[in-house]
Amino acid sequence: MGLLKGYFKAVLAMLALVFSVWAKTLHAQEDTPVDFEADSVTVSNQDGSMIATGNVMILQNGDVLRADQVIYNPSTETARASGNVTITTVDNIVHSAEEMTLDENFTHAIAKPLLTNLSDGSRFSASSGDHVQNKRTVFDRSVFSPCKCDYDNGESPIWDLRASKSIHDIESRSITHQNVTMRIFGLPVFYLPALVHPDETIERESGFLTPNIAYSNDRGMTVTTPYYQILGPTRDVEFQPTNFQFRGQGLKTIYRQRWDNSELDAMIYTANLETFKKRREQVAATDTRFSTELGEGWKMRMRLFRTSQDTFLRRYRYETEERLDSYMVAEKITDNRYYRVKASDTQGLRETDTLDKEPSLLPEIYFEKITDGPFANQTIRQELSAQSLNNDEGHDILRWTGLLGTRFQHKMNGHVLTATGDLLGTYHDIRSNASSSGDTHEVGQGQVIMTGGWQYPLGITYGNGNTASAIITPRIKFTGIEGSDRTDDIPNRDAADFRLDEANLFLANRFQGRDFILPGSHVAAGVSGITENSFLGDVSGFIGLSYRTSGTPAESISTESQDSYSDYVTSLSARTPFDLTVSWSARADRKTFELNESRANAVYDNNGTFVEVSHTQVAESYFTNSAQDREEVAINVTQSLGRGLSLTAEQVWNLSEGQSKKDQSVLLLGWAGGFQDCVNLSLEYKRDPYADRDIQKVSELQLRVSFKYLGSITQ
């Protein structure tokens, strides 16, 4: 027995020495270490070949080869691996075969046949394959598909590419197919002599993107075939040529570039299309945005948004905007100062828009400074602004404004007391464009604005065992404005969209800007509350109103009652534990409680079901120039149908003046990823009843199909 043990140890020592020499030889060839494991190793006395069997594992330069058996021939410096052979690369790509021939220090493998799985689950199968470590894999008579399906149980991919040869270039991270046929559900769809697409490691790659096909009653069949080109690490461009069957051709070009502190996004539209002027007209537009940081703390934003023709952007679904705003804004914020310089220009696209309704701000300069005052809890605010406004509803206006204000705040036993005082001076130089003489008049005005306020946040507990809590905050504010009234002399534009709501109920001047300042005084009072409840969830609400103690109502803006009391202003919102969020805000007549304005919204979102319902209503009596009530209801429903399928429906109803009229309608069936996560499909129907000049009421059907790796960009 001792003799056998000694002999066995001698054999193991010899095998270890042989493999050590083998591994050193391989290591010398490529200067990379080779690690080796096996259940048993034998050496042939005839040719010196070594046979490793049982759970063989060879680790070389990060790649791992596993097999049931490996036979190494030292004379040819090749090896043959057999039985469940796999090579797993450092990129988690797995090559599988029943038998492989390996040489060049195990960095080169040939297999017949070969099965390869990429790191994301994409799969190659080939009659034979040739793999060179960290360089390429060549597949002969290949079948490629990114679809994730159960091949072992006989499941077939939704689509695949079959080629005479495919090359996976690991260095360029691209896949090239030669003489390729695409099959969908096993049926050949198209043939190409060559096709190149990125592998799973590429985030962006030049090439054609997903085509888009749509049909509408106005434009006919619309086909867009985008092409994406990388220009550098921080630059790219996309071309979207579109053919409109009945109306002509258009090209949308998108250019993007990034720097350390700057961004540029430019969209340029050029087209030869039918317009209300001509059967074919050369048209163009641009929407270019640029932002950057300048100097110490300055941030600048610019946008150039212009078109050569009023309707083509909306008619051909490039843009939906009815007015195009170009601007340049530079801002700087420090601890106690704010600077802003702004220039802007507006282009109106509606039939009723004329030159005098396309204002230009050239420029506006604004400065604000806030410092601590000489007294405790006092702050002082200084404000200076100047602006030049042209083509504003038939007027050119120059305005200079200066303000000096102070604010005190004092807290006492939970009570919060505030007081403010502002001295405001404004000077207007107004020229009317409507008269041939160019009538000019100058208007100066000054006001003293004083406010005093009180609020008292009060915490309470309620429920059995005081399990719930709430914060109730009553609030009162008195405002007095003394000075000149120039509301009839100054064209009012910046306050035209006035709304009395919770946000501006307590403002000293409730109207936007500096053009509309109404002397008088009023008292505003309200109560807000917030609570957390196990049944209702997070709930907040507000109710308030104001009383005009002196002055006249703002009749030039709205048809408010001559009653000194305002409407009730109220809001309520709740985020419930039942995946339901609701919100409601309203303005109700003080005497009749009839709603003059309301907005309601409810959202349910749970386990693939999303439902949103919104309602908006504004009474005719609120607007000075309104001829009817305005009421609208919108519903959006999205339902997941499982396995990537989803259905979305949107509908808007116009309920003004008691009618029930359908506005825009959308129905969308989407298939994201498909059953096997390799194809996106959407079928969308859209109906838009809006009409303006040559923009017709449109019913449109759009089909979009995106195959994984073949042109889609996922965001």
pLDDT per position as a tens digit, 491-530: 776 666 677 888 889 998 888 778 888 899 999 999 999 9
What tokens were used for 560? 């408010």
Mention every residue, 6+ apart, whose C-beta is less than 8 A from residue 665: 650, 651, 652, 685, 686, 687
On whether the CB atoms of residues 209 and 713 are closer than 8 A, the answer is yes
Tell me what pLDDT residue 278 has.
86
Complete DSSP assignment for 391-410? EETTEEEEEEEEEEEEEEEE
Q: What is the pLDDT of residue 622?
A: 57
The dihedrals phi and psi of 636, each to the nearest 5 degrees, come to: -130, 125
Predicted pLDDT at 437:
53
Write out pLDDT tens, residues 220-277: 888 888 888 989 889 999 999 999 999 999 999 999 999 999 999 999 999 999 988 8
Quote the tokens at residue 198: 């990125």
Count of alpha carbons within 13 angstroms of residue 296, beta-carbon side: 1
Per-residue pLDDT at 339 exceeds 80: yes
Tell me the domain boundaries of the chain.
Answer: 1-111, 115-202, 219-324
- Give the confidence band of 20 by pLDDT, cuts at 50, 70, 90: very low
Tokens of 372: 């601590």
Domain 1-111's class? mainly beta
pLDDT top residue among 155 and 464: 155
Phi/psi-derived region of residue 11, left when phi > 0, alpha when psi is between -120 and 50, beta in every other case: alpha
Does position 11 have pLDDT exceeding 50, yes or no?
no
Tokens of 712: 């889609």
The pLDDT value given to residue 200: 81
Q: Buried b vs exposed e over 642-676: b needs ≥16 C-beta within 10 Å?
A: eebbbebebbbbebbeeeeeeeebbebebbbbbbb
- pLDDT of amino acid 561: 55
Q: What is the pTM of this model?
A: 0.74
Q: What pLDDT, in 10s, does the model give residues 443-466?
A: 999 999 999 999 999 988 887 766
Check whether 131 has a pLDDT greater than 90.
Answer: yes
pLDDT exceeds 60 at position 16: no
pLDDT confidence of residue 664: 83
Rounded Cα–Cα distance for residues 265 and 301 (Å): 12
User: pLDDT category, 426, cuts 50, 70, 90?
Assistant: very high
- Predicted confidence at residue 14, as pLDDT, reads 41
Structure tokens at 576: 């419930």
159, with CB counted inside 10 A (0-12, 13-18, 19+), is: buried
What digits encode the pLDDT tens for the residues 654-712? Answer: 888 777 788 889 999 988 777 788 888 888 888 877 766 777 777 888 877 777 777 54
**Residue 2 dihedral angles phi and psi, to the nearest 5°:** -65, -35
Q: pLDDT tens digits, residue range 162-213?
A: 999 999 998 888 899 999 999 988 889 888 898 888 888 877 777 777 778 8
Question: Cα-Cα-Cα-Cα dihedral of 9, 13, 15, 17, to 10°?
Answer: 180
**85-94, 225-234, 284-293, 534-543: range with highest mean pLDDT:** 284-293
pLDDT of 28 reads 42
Contacts of 426 (CB under 8 A, 6+ apart): 399, 400, 401, 402, 444, 445, 446, 514, 517
**C-alpha pair distances (Å), 581 with each of 101, 532, 576, 614, 651:** 64, 14, 6, 12, 20
Distance CA 151, CA 157 (A): 8
**Can you give 214-269 as a three-state secondary structure string?**
EEECCCEEEEECCEEEEEECCEEEEEEEEEECCCEEEEEEEEEEECCCEEEEEEEE
What is the Cβ-side half-sphere exposure of residue 109, based on CA atoms within 13 angstroms? 36
**What pLDDT was estimated at residue 596?**
86
Q: How far apart are CA 199 and CA 171, in angstroms?
A: 11
From 333, 338, 346, select the one nearest 306 (Cα to Cα).
346
Sign of the alpha-carbon dihedral angle for 541, 547, 551, 557:
positive
Q: Taking all residues of the chain, what is their mean pLDDT, rounded to a whole number? A: 86
Region 376-399: what's the mean pLDDT? 91
pLDDT of residue 8: 38
Give the pLDDT of residue 173.
86
Q: What is the pLDDT of residues 276-285, one digit of tens each?
A: 888 899 999 9
How do strand 78-88 and strand 94-103 relate by DSSP bridges?
Answer: antiparallel
Is residue 160's pLDDT more than 60?
A: yes
Give pLDDT, residue 516: 86
Q: How confident is the model at residue 5 (pLDDT cuts 50, 70, 90)?
A: very low
* 76-85, 112-121, 437-446, 521-530, range with greatest mean pLDDT: 521-530
Beta bridge partners of 604: 580, 611
**Which tokens go with 639?**
């339902």
Cα→Cα distances 512→61, 456, 504, 557, 568, Å: 69, 28, 10, 12, 21
The most confident of 100-109, 224-233, 457-466, 476-485, by mean pLDDT:
476-485
- How far is the C-alpha of 492 from the C-alpha of 394, rounded, in Å? 12
Q: By CB neighbour count within 10 A (0-12 exposed, 13-18 middle, 19+ buried), where does 372 fall? A: exposed
CA–CA distance, 582 with 577 (Å, rounded to integer): 12
Of 12-16, 374-378, 409-413, 614-618, where does mean pLDDT reach its minimum? 12-16
What is the torsional sign of CA 196, 201, 204, 210?
positive
pLDDT at 676: 82
CA-nearest of 666, 650, 676 to 701 is 666
